[in-house]
Structure 1
Amino acid sequence: MLTIQCTKKLSDELKVNISKVKAINTDPLYSWHAHLFLYNRRKCVLVMNNKTRYNFILFALKKDDFKEFDNLIVKAIAENLSADGVDKVVTEKYLQNCTSVSYTATSDRSIISQINEMIMASEYKMRQDKLDGMETDIYELNRWLNRYIMMKLPKLYSGETMLEELLHLKDS
């Protein structure tokens, strides 16, 4: 089961009642925090894995996207892992445990602060790209976000940490 820990802002947009009770026996590798933010009047969601801090942005979401958020997030996880070079077999093994999605309240303030840091970094990059006269490629922005140094991680980079965790999953 995939657990999405939503901020109040996102849960209001999704129109779901989030459980105030922390998810019991949830593997942190299958738990993600998600936060809704606006950039240039477009709704965006930054999603971050609880264990590895692997993250990506869902950009310019429409009303219908929020109605199909379960499918959208699983698809986005698969696409981003693939784009970061994770073997298809490893990705498939991870996705086997993502057949259902549950929503709970956020549980870790340090993850929320890292989400806010990633949002600030991505907004800076998008503004810089605009000043340079080009449109930001969200695909490339998501690759860039996972090469951002996070001191609490064993590998420093969230992309490398996620890959290592998924390789342990493959071996088990």
Structure 2
Amino acid sequence: MIFRLSQKLATKLKVGKLESLPADENPYADWSSHLFIFDRTQYIILMNTASLYACVMHGRGITDDSTFIARALDTIREFTADDGKQFIYRRFIAPSNGTLSFAKALNRSVTGSMNDHIHAAKFMLEDGMAPSDIGYRLNETPMSALNGPDGRKYGYPKDVFANLVDK
């Protein structure tokens, strides 16, 4: 499993210099993450690199890599269960937890999409939405970096995430 960290998050976790790694063979086991601040509170967005499927968690209390890994995996597990995708977590994500690596962002498209998600998340936080609920709205937002089921641009992260197993 690969966690791709932003420089800001890597500094917070004190993980040192990040390597460039190719995409994980298992598309469900490759997650990009970034630390952002809203109203003096730290949040971390976790986004599946292949599908841009996202969830948001609080960043408070996460000061090292082991705490980050535990909280990130718990957040992904809980979010996929609440979103009706528990099978995907159990079948494809949980088995890959044995070998974890940290790496740089895969490409600028993923980084740009994550920044778009963060801007939207800040608006939702401003409206009083809980971090645990933000992912549902983000995953229903069409993204230009994704192709929909008909091959056209602007696919939905929730649909692409559900269909990664078919690829």
* TM-score (norm. length: structure 2): 0.84
Match of 1:145 in 2: 138
- Alpha-carbon distance between aligned partners in 2 of 1:63 and 1:29, rounded to the nearest angstrom: 23
- Alpha-carbon distance between aligned partners in 2 of 1:65 and 1:40, rounded to the nearest angstrom: 23
Q: Match of 2:24, SS?
A: coil
Aligned residues: 159
Task: Output the amino acid matched with 2:114.
Answer: I
* 64-73 or 43-52: bigger deviation: 64-73
Task: Output the amino acid matched with 1:84.
Answer: D
Q: Match of 1:26, SS?
A: coil
Q: Match of 2:98, SS?
A: coil
- Kindly indicate whether the alpha-carbon contact (under 8 Å) linking 1:65 and 1:72 is maintained by their aligned counterparts in 2: no
Q: Does residue 115 of structure 1 match 2:104?
A: no
- Kindly indicate whether the alpha-carbon contact (under 8 Å) linking 2:13 and 2:64 is maintained by their aligned counterparts in 1: no
- Kindly indicate whether the alpha-carbon contact (under 8 Å) linking 1:47 and 1:57 is maintained by their aligned counterparts in 2: yes
Q: Does residue 47 of structure 1 match 2:37?
A: no
Match of 2:72 in 1: 73
1:63-102 → structure 2 map (5 Å cutoff): 63=62, 67-86=66-85, 88-94=86-92, 95-102=94-101
Match of 2:12 in 1: 13
- Alpha-carbon distance between aligned partners in 2 of 1:121 and 1:146, rounded to the nearest angstrom: 11
2:24 pairs, out of 19, 26, 30, with 26
User: How many Å apart are 1:78 and its aligned residue?
Assistant: 1.1
- Kindly indicate whether the alpha-carbon contact (under 8 Å) linking 2:15 and 2:65 is maintained by their aligned counterparts in 1: no
User: How many Å apart are 1:91 and its aligned residue?
Assistant: 2.1
User: How many Å apart are 1:159 and its aligned residue?
Assistant: 1.0
- Alpha-carbon distance between aligned partners in 2 of 1:25 and 1:122, rounded to the nearest angstrom: 26
Task: Output the amino acid matched with 2:123.
Answer: Y
User: How many Å apart are 1:116 and its aligned residue?
Assistant: 0.7
CA 1:65–1:83: 2 relative to 1, 3 Å: farther
Percent sequence identity over matched residues?
20
Unaligned regions of 5+ residues in structure 2, if any? 149-154
Q: Which has the larger radius of gyration?
A: 1
* TM-score (norm. length: structure 1): 0.82
User: How many Å apart are 1:70 and its aligned residue?
Assistant: 1.1
Task: Output the amino acid matched with 1:120.
Answer: H
User: How many Å apart are 1:44 and its aligned residue?
Assistant: 0.9
User: How many Å apart are 1:50 and its aligned residue?
Assistant: 1.2
